[in-house]
Chains A and B, each alone.
Chain A
Amino acid sequence: MSTLALERQIRPIYDSLDSGSHKSALLACNKLLKKHPKNDHLKALKALALTRAQKFEEAIALCEEVLATKPTDDGAINALMHALRHLGRFADLVKLFEDAFKQQPDNDELGRQAFFANVRAGNWKAAQLLANKLNKQFHNDRYIFWGIMCTVLQANDPMTTAEMREILLKLAHRLITTSWKPAEVHADRLYLFVTILQQLGLYKDARELLNTESGRFHCARNLSCDYLRRDIMRAGDWQREEAETAEQRILSKRDRNWLEFVSILDATFLPSALPNETTCESNSSSPSSFLQRVEKTRDLFTKVAEEDGSHERAAWLGLMELERRCGVHGIVSEPSRLLDLLKRYFRIFGDKAACFEDLRPYTDLGSDVLADWLAFLEGITHSPPSNTALSRFINAHKLLRHGLSVAQLTPDQEEIRAADLVRGYFEALPLEKDLPNLELQPADDLAVLAGQVYANAFTLDNAAAHLHKAIVVLEYASKKSPQSYQIHLELVRIYRLLGAPQLALDHYRLLNVKQIQNDTLSYLILSRSTNFSLAATGDLTYASECLESSHIYFSNSQETSEFIVKAFSMEKYSQISELVVFEERLDNSLQRDLVKIEHVRLRISHEPITPELVDMELIELKFIFDRLHHDNRDLEVLPNYQPRGQLSFLSQTTLFGREPATGWLSAFLKIYIKTLSEASDLDPSVEDDKLLIGDRPRQCCSPDASIPLMERLTIQTTEELSELTENELALFHYVNDLTDWLDPFHNFLRPQGESPKQAPKNGQSSNDGVPSDGNGKKLEDAPPITEPPDSILSYFKNAHAKFTGAVEGRRPFYEILHIATLTQEALLLFFICTKRFKDASIVRINKLGVLAQHIKSLRSSAADVVGQIGAQLINISELEGTADKRRQFIEHCEALQTHTEITHEYVLEVGKRLTESQRKVLEGVGRGIERIRKTPM
């Protein structure tokens, strides 16, 4: 068959792939491969079809087969490239293109692709060498700059030593200096040059470069260059000159960028310019000249502020910032000056929603003027009703709340304040009664504020009644303003605190969190989700939420490097480092692995503990353990309106008062790696190839990465211990004791044949617990059987005592559930850790009967305890969701029913949903425990 005819037959395969018909693409490939069994293009297409059909193992095998032939055919290379990219095999991509380029060294395109492949894999050194080679061969300026950029990236790689970094930066400097053509400068090349100078501390050279004609041209038009210029001026100590530029921009160009005002303020308060009485340094200026400078700045800002009036806030805030800094440096100023400014600002901008945030940093007033300020704010009302008056009223309330002293924060007073806010909310609602439901009600902030006041009252006396009122108000507000994310977020936090996870999840879902937001916001709902999960009863809501929120990490590894490549090809050097850092931050996201560990915790409670599960999770968790994590969680998403010096609303509504972070993650990784390692037969030396998707994650330069993993697992850091709750810490110690006790027996029974066990494939078991030398008998004897440490059984007994104490002490439901779910987890970990000793024949052959007896008795006692907890939970659940509980809820919210909008039926409805949700989770967790206890492991 001619090549043309074959091409004609191949085309439909592309069409099938494009339209997502992987099956028909596969069939067509197989059919054609019968006739052309050695055709690389067809094989590569089949590999691509297999990848798209999620048949990764077959795809990888085929990819490797084609790779080995070092294809040069465009079609084969392209298809293979797509397959490898989908599989995340960036190292193979490098090989593909480097081999092809070696065979066709005159092919510029292949050379570029080989460069890009190295960029995707983050091989900066190889990429740099290749860029130099491309430049020598094809003489193109851009290749020189690619090489320079790669040198800078290599210098800033965390694995590069400080000495090497210096050498590399100097190399980059030399290269860029020799190839610099001032007439052909474009913004991003300039940016690259200046960053090299900046990193070498050559600020003077950087300034000169920025002061050239092209430098000034780009700084005036390119924000990145101008931003960098500011950094250089600051680093080089040229704040005075920068202030002159800023003044000119403010006056002649009417630039109101806050950065200009900061430049002037920085120059006014330069450390060297401050009159320093204690050190009397020769370069410090005299008090009078310093005061003159302050006066000059004040005059400038006053002039601009008067001119701008209500059009711009910058100069007004500049004036307040000036007073604040004067205060910081102990410069006596008119005490009423700041107060006057605050009042004036409020009069001009009090109707802007941002007014509170603008003024907050300047409201730390001395007692002499504070009363005056508070009296001013108290005089702000929202009558006659209008949106402007309402905004002022809201801002005044936020500011008043911010200024409350500790003595004013009693639960009763907070209740009065909340009631005032709720009254204000209902009075203001009619203002926009006909607003379409996609718009936000101007009164929303009053409900949001009330929610925070109630939460603070709860923090003060732990009475759930406050939170009940909060949800009644917020639920109402969310109906009036269904799109207000702040209202939904407050409800998410409060429902979790009340132990009503389904309602929290409902509101979270209304936020429509997607894409990157999964990384930054999923902590709101998934943090310690094991606490509320009903996975043991087969309800996989949280488990699937964990999986869904993790898709973004796959997108990151698939997509971000493509845009790094694109930034190279478009020569946007200002973006490359930032994209590289972004990719790294998302790849090594703390939230990613917190969700991962939650998912493992949920998984073991509903899936059978198969050897495959044990091995695959173990491999993944070990990789995670060596990651250097970045915390990308957006902890600022919810505005905080709690008084200064108090815990923020977010902290107040965090379960157990602490959000899991790196210490918590590390402790749970240790718990699981230790337990799974005992159960697994995998030989560590063969694990690297097991990650079917993607390359082995790049290892961090962790200071103790040289210590063997198993040793590192035994180290306990204070960070870990401080992030765990008392009950989590008990689980941590329990697992330590359990694994220490059983470790010698696991080691004895674990196969130690000459060929280590291979990774599990297609669900086949590799872990049969039988020693490997044919008859299953080892030469040496079993280690002497030891009694189980008392701590194992006492863990369960203590947990039960704590559980009963929490129930009797009427602790919040989330605390009761916490003890219950952790005890359930302890039992599951016990199952995993002792599974090997369940096989009667192994026990008999290895004379481990006594050990098996110990395990059996422990298991039965532990299961008994867990069973009692489960039964108690079911008992408690029967008391929830009853008419009694609903009546209680209505009583708590009686005061709110003075508002005609809050009817008895409405409160009843909210109460019914709350108590029902609480009942469901208590009962569900109880039933889950029952199931686990009875499951034969």
Chain B
Amino acid sequence: MSDTVTKAPERLAEPIRAEDLPHPMEKWLRMDRIPHIWCPTCGLGTVVTALVEGIKEAQIEPDRLAVVSGIGCTGRVAGYMKFDSFHTTHGRALPFATGLRLSNPKMKVVVVSGDGDIFGIGGNHFIHAARRNMDLTVICVNNFIYAMTGGQVAPTTPGPANTSTTPFGAFEPPFNLPYLAESCGAVYVARWTSLDVRRMSHSIAKALLKPGFSLVEIIAPCSTLYARRNRLGSGLDLLKFYQQNAIIQNGAKTADVGIDFQRPFIVGEFVDAERPTWEELMRKQMKSVLGEKFIPHEGGECSSCE
């Protein structure tokens, strides 16, 4: 899928040196910020690759896409993506993205953040952005734990997983993210593991092209904290677990896709529905009442900019 063609060196006798080859993603990544801060075998690198592939598949101009992240391991995604990118405050990526989108409706706005960021501290913003059907794509990387702060229990942690704040096992019921998203009004909802690179990319492309509020949940390994605390082996062991236990069931009822601790779980494309977006509803309402007097916000330049 990469459109970067690597030309063979003219004199084949010379060995090919890695530093002479263009990185296949250098058009889309901030190469001056690589290497990234993520742990070996973290799922985030794959998610970033899939996001780039999804953007390419959806044929979105890089200048027309903004990436907004909150705080946490996944919150660092914005900083590596070569787009207009905003690393905001904990949980507030969605309202920031809402303002950005309404101010500049030409932009596709993608929120990439973690489960704790979007569904813990930012939970209220998620349910309202979904209710409004705001034209945003949310990629939530779910590693079942607050990783950057050292492995505390999250609103997604399945019991009885061990975390640093549940040393005797988690007991609170976790959120079922696709079910929550659908019930709040999201028009596109999918879940894949970080192993499902192609399916994840396709879903991200579909989500980007779908007008309205979409969620792609990515189940991703955190070998440093979640796996180690729960004696689940390495990141590779977790990927093997996904391979053997992620059951693809497109169109599954979201009520049935809750995740238990180290049990088989359902992935797939769950919701693909039609519903007018906030912007469509707003314009329709204003036109019906104000008629010709309504002047829509065109975005872009502010009226008094130099």
Same complex for A and B? Answer no
Q: Which residues of B contact A (CB under 8 A)?
A: none
